[in-house]
Amino acid sequence: MTGRIADTIHGKVNGVERGVEPGVEQSGVVSFRGIPYAASPVGGLRFAPPQPHPGWAGVREATRPGPAVPQAASRLERVMGPRVPDWNEDGCLTVNVHTPRPAFEGGPPRPVLIWWHGGGFTSGSGGWDWYDGARLAELGDLVVVTANYRVGPLGYLYLPEIGAANLGAQDQAAVLQWVQDNIASFGGDPRTVTVGGQSAGAFSALSLALDPHTAGLVTRVLLESGPFGLPPQDPGDAAETAAAYLRLLDIPADANALRALPVEQLLSAYGRLARPGQVAPPMYPVLGGPGMPRAWPQALADGALEGKALLMGTTRDEATAFFAFDPNVQGLTTARALDLLTGQLGERAHDVYRQHAARLPHATPAQVFTAIQTDELFRTDTLRIADHHAAGANTAYVYQFDYQPAEDEHALGATHCGELPFLFNAYDAYPNSPMLGVPTAADRVLGRTFATAVAEFVTTGSVRDWLPYAPATDTRIRHFG
């Protein structure tokens, strides 16, 4: 491995040339991992907006990812596979940059993809091998940036009186600015930046593209499995959740009291706020807070996304990831399913249930409920966004990812997160993952096809052999799998 030096506004960093296939040493990609983009959010900076990093003297090693943001285990571990905890509050706000070697050596600057991990605004890390961008960078001849942002109570506790409001979204905006200030040193083009992500990461990417404070830094938008049926949190509801959280901690709404507690105690109390059978996390972006001045329907109506090419899609069976292992859902009767849906959908609940039950005549109430959640939380509003964008003569592409493992003992189908190993060619990072199973050679070809399409979109704003979406035209939805 050969070291490579790049300059950032905070100091020099030393990356490494990498082989992009396991066990193969080659010089196709230069990776820089664990680069701080903001000061550590510890001490007086816990529950505060991101602050500039003080910088460093000499050359900082950037050969390993930084620690994850403090978090509990993901609720999707039984679907994706477990992670060994690797978090540390100190030093967690970092970026990882993967760039093709010719771009780093002085070739033309490459388009940039900033990728946001999912995890329900509660877990995840841009440094995990699930999102290693090296193979995608080489495949598409583009620069891939992944990053950490604060999640759970550290990122989304809503106490504006102490300065805590959408801190995770503020971290993301700081990453976007870091890319503008630094990416040219890594061979990237700051004028051609796609923001993308999956699940909560897609929610975040769309927010960055719509927010007037960051929209001018975004060229294209990539949205995978965005939960756009989940509106941003109402400030009143967020304040009530914050009050309940403080009661669990038995402290007042005081910054010093919150900063004095061990982070493990903060995470434990947050875990007790979780609501069984709910996809929405206890804390997530709040309407009117930083990064979320308007909900996306209003922002689209205001023309905030005009002129930006868009690629978006879902998996076929998104919601199985959340409910296949939930006994509260698997034991549903029709009456109880209708009760839950009435609380969610109001007067529409009975009609929606009947429509889905007719489409799935042999399904159990749990399966009907889960299919409804796939549509209500993911698919319907994905198409609504695409319809609006395409109707305005903007470039839009829509896909559905249909891969499901050959051995599918939990009946996950093509579930939430299922496309991630294929996008990043990261199959080995998901050992014993029920959503992936054992992909065949043909499945890996599917992955290359999907990743190539995404890369073409990032680099050119279009995709060969893929007709752009037209409003309400299912035949323009490309199926993978």
pLDDT one-digit tens code per residue, 361-403: 999 999 999 999 999 999 999 999 999 999 999 999 999 999 9
Contact 136, 114 (CB under 8 A): no
What pLDDT, on a 0 to 100 scale, did the predictor assign at position 1? 44
Domain membership of residue 368 (yes or no) is: no
What pLDDT, on a 0 to 100 scale, did the predictor assign at position 95? 98
Choosing from 98, 204, 416, 456, the catalytic residue is 416
Q: Respond yes or no: is residue 185 known to be catalytic.
A: no
Report residues of the chain scoring pLDDT below 50. 1, 23-26
What pLDDT, on a 0 to 100 scale, did the predictor assign at position 274? 79
Choosing from 89, 138, 224, 318, the catalytic residue is 318
Global pTM value: 0.96
What pLDDT, on a 0 to 100 scale, did the predictor assign at position 294? 97
pLDDT one-digit tens code per residue, 433-468: 999 999 999 999 999 999 999 999 999 999 999 999
Domain membership of residue 150 (yes or no) is: yes
Domain membership of residue 345 (yes or no) is: no
Domain membership of residue 139 (yes or no) is: yes
Bridge partners, residue 159, by sequence: 164
Domain membership of residue 348 (yes or no) is: no
Q: Respond yes or no: is residue 350 known to be catalytic.
A: no
Q: Respond yes or no: is residue 456 known to be catalytic.
A: no
What pLDDT, on a 0 to 100 scale, did the predictor assign at position 25? 45
Domain membership of residue 367 (yes or no) is: no
Number of domains the chain is built from: 1
Domain membership of residue 369 (yes or no) is: no
Domain membership of residue 470 (yes or no) is: yes
Domain with 238 in it: what CATH number? 3.40.50.1820
Choosing from 199, 204, 207, 433, the catalytic residue is 199
Structural domain span for residue 154: 3-327+375-480
What pLDDT, on a 0 to 100 scale, did the predictor assign at position 21? 53
What pLDDT, on a 0 to 100 scale, did the predictor assign at position 3? 67
